[in-house]
Amino acid sequence: MKTLMIKRNNDVISGMFLPSAIAMILSTTATFLANTVDGLVTSNFLGSSAFSAVSLFTPMVSIMLLFTYFVGVGGQVLCSAKVGVGEKEEANAVFTFSLIVGLFFSAVFVLIAVFSPDIIFRICGVTETERPELYGYIGEYLRGYCLGIPSLIMVQILEPFLIIDNRKKLISISAAVLCITDIAFDFINVLVFKGGVFGMGLATSISLTLQLIVLIFHFAFEGGYFRLSLKGFRAGFLKTIIKSGGLSFMRSMATTLRELFTNHLNLAVAVGTAAIAARGIQGDINRLMFCISIGMGKAILPMTSMYYGADDKNGIKRLFSYSMKVSAYISGGVGAILFLLAPIIVNVYTDDTEITSLAVFGIRCMAAGLIFDTVLVAYQSYLQGIQRIKLVNTLCFAERFFIPVIIAWVLGMIFGSKGVLASVAIGKVVLGILILFIIWANRKEFPRKMEDYMFLPKEFGIEEGAELYSEIRTMDDVMKQSELAREFCLAQGRDARISNLISLFVEEIGGNIITHGRPRTGKEVSADFRLFVKEDKLCLTLRDYCEVFDPQKYYEIHKDDDPESNLGIRMVMKLAKDVRYINSFNTNCTMIII
């Protein structure tokens, strides 16, 4: 019996992925926008030297976030896998561990900023003997910024868990709080308090702290899936978190090293502060646009881990196809708009003609490479979700460090700062070609189909003929899948009684979803239905994109009602060896093992 699947639009997949991606893009944008606003206000009110110093501090922020990604992403991947199979206690233990480690790293970076700031200055390429005109400015900015370091780190750790916990709106609200307060405090600093560069850093610190307070309110008072708990904790969690988070750590480290090298190279070939300022403007816009890439990656990673943990090959294929298309469409459109608006954007920073000419060129180069950047990051996040560690490491350092650095060095030596600015786009084209050849070499044939790019293990998924998979949107779909479920169970050697009960269960619970389900805003009622055999156990999974509905609780509440009503649900609940319900990514997922 072949695997059956009704081909429809990715309603549940799109309902999970797109809102999550948008929320993560907005949140990541807010974090970098805070630094961008600092740059804009600093450039216009405090001068180009002050702005150059602030822009050179940005790689240090990336270094601090390296450890955040290591802990947060590792915990997110492991939690998503636990959520995929309904293991709530272990997911909470991972959540608790992630927060504790995040607090530890926060304390370490604050201590370095307070007691050994010269370490940070050297990392940023500024010392008292080299670029002394920037030394004082970057020191003042660090003194103001260091108070917000704990909030910067903890916000990035908490947000992925909020995505899983259906709190995307809260993430958007916290991002709005950060943007609004940072802009307001920046202008208050320069217009009222005259606080200089120190005030710019302090304004960002206060805004980051307010953002964290908004998120903490949910965990402290509103309730939800995640709670501080060590129940279910196992020593093996640490190994898995290191393994999963290490990939993001390496990728972020490669990115940070690239930025540091490029900044140092630009400082070496620059003939004046105009080239440094232009690189700073390009860096600001590049980081702002890179939020699209990061948001897509943060959305696809936990969902890939969830489907991979559930051994759901059909689900992961649909997710891969949809997420890659969305990443290309959004980044391509934004890149085209950015290319056209580059002169207007640069004029917001400065009216210096020398800086303007270089900065417009730099932004347009970055805009041309945006679509490659976004798709590559989303692709690597997918590979990380399916645990292709060696492949991701190879792509990571090729894409984030080796090729960009080599191209920046070659073009910088030949064309100076303009070559460094152009390397952003040229590097992306080379990287895209490189990845195509890596896939070609791995498969030993040119990749043509979507699956050729997915690198799924041969043993992944349910064996041929042992799975029934469909998307349900109408009562006709429900009745059809009910009958197919009965035929499937009989074909798998189940007796007529069990087969009929499963059929009746699908009819009743599917009918309840279609008839009584309340869809999320702007969505139709829909559900992904999966019936399969694994290790001689009959497993049924139903995932719908509707308001919260736990069938197990519903059964407990109504089990003493009319014994003739919901007979299929009642009987299957009694027969089930294990029943799990998870509400995550704004979907209800019921898992039943017979």
C-alpha to C-alpha distance for 242 and 435, rounded to whole angstroms: 25
CA atoms within 13 A on the CB side of 79: 30
Residue range 261-270, pLDDT digits in tens = 666 665 565 5
The CA-atom distances, in angstroms, between 133 and each of 40, 53, 129, 276, 352 are: 19, 9, 9, 13, 19
Count other C-beta atoms under 10 Å from residue 289's C-beta.
22
C-alpha to C-alpha distance for 540 and 590, rounded to whole angstroms: 8
Phi and psi at 479, nearest 5°, equal -65, -40
C-alpha to C-alpha distance for 376 and 370, rounded to whole angstroms: 10
Q: Which candidate, 283, 306, 296, places its Cα nearest to that of 408?
A: 283
534-566: burial string, b at 16+ Cβ within 10 Å, e else? eeeebbbbbbbbbeebebeebbeeeeeeeeeeb
Look-up: residue for tokens 């899936």? Answer: 225
Q: Who's near 556: CB < 8 A, 6+ residues apart? A: none
Cα-Cα end-to-end distance for the chain: 20
The CA-atom distances, in angstroms, between 345 and each of 330, 359, 424 are: 20, 9, 18
Averaged pLDDT, groups of 10, the chain, 594 residues long: 42 77 79 71 84 78 75 74 70 82 89 90 78 84 92 87 78 86 92 91 92 84 68 65 64 67 61 66 78 84 81 87 91 92 86 81 86 86 82 74 76 72 76 80 80 83 83 87 90 88 85 73 74 84 70 55 62 71 71 79
Q: Which candidate, 390, 376, 465, 479, places its Cα nearest to that of 428?
A: 376
- The residue ranges of DSSP E strands in 410-553, in sequence order, are 467-472, 527-534, 537-544
Angle at which helix 196-217 crosses helix 168-188, to 10 degrees, equals: 160
Q: What is the largest CA-CA distance in the chain?
A: 86
Q: Which two tokens stand for residue 266?
A: 């630009």
Predicted confidence at residue 387, as pLDDT, reads 78
CA atoms within 13 A on the CB side of 308: 24
Beta-strand pair 527-534/537-544:
antiparallel
Q: Which two tokens stand for residue 136?
A: 């004082």
Look-up: residue for tokens 């992306």? Answer: 428
Inter-residue contact 30 to 178 (CB < 8 Å): yes
Q: Who's near 111: CB < 8 A, 6+ residues apart? A: none
Predicted confidence at residue 248, as pLDDT, reads 62
C-alpha to C-alpha distance for 454 and 441, rounded to whole angstroms: 14
Residue range 319-359, pLDDT digits in tens = 898 999 999 999 999 999 999 998 998 888 777 787 888 88
Inter-residue contact 576 to 590 (CB < 8 Å): no
Inter-residue contact 144 to 204 (CB < 8 Å): yes
CA atoms within 13 A on the CB side of 30: 26
Using CA atoms of 154, 293, 588, 70 in order, give the dihedral in degrees to the nearest 10. -40
DSSP 225: S
pTM of the model: 0.72
Amino acid of residue 242? I
Q: Which two tokens stand for residue 282?
A: 């390009």
Q: Who's near 509: CB < 8 A, 6+ residues apart? A: 542, 551, 568, 569, 590
Q: Looking at 116-166, list the stretches that DSSP marks H as alpha helix, in order from N- to C-terminal side.
A: 117-123, 132-145, 149-164
Alpha-carbon 440 to chain mean position: 27
Sheet containing strand 587-593, edge to edge, reads 467-472, 527-534, 537-544, 587-593, 578-584
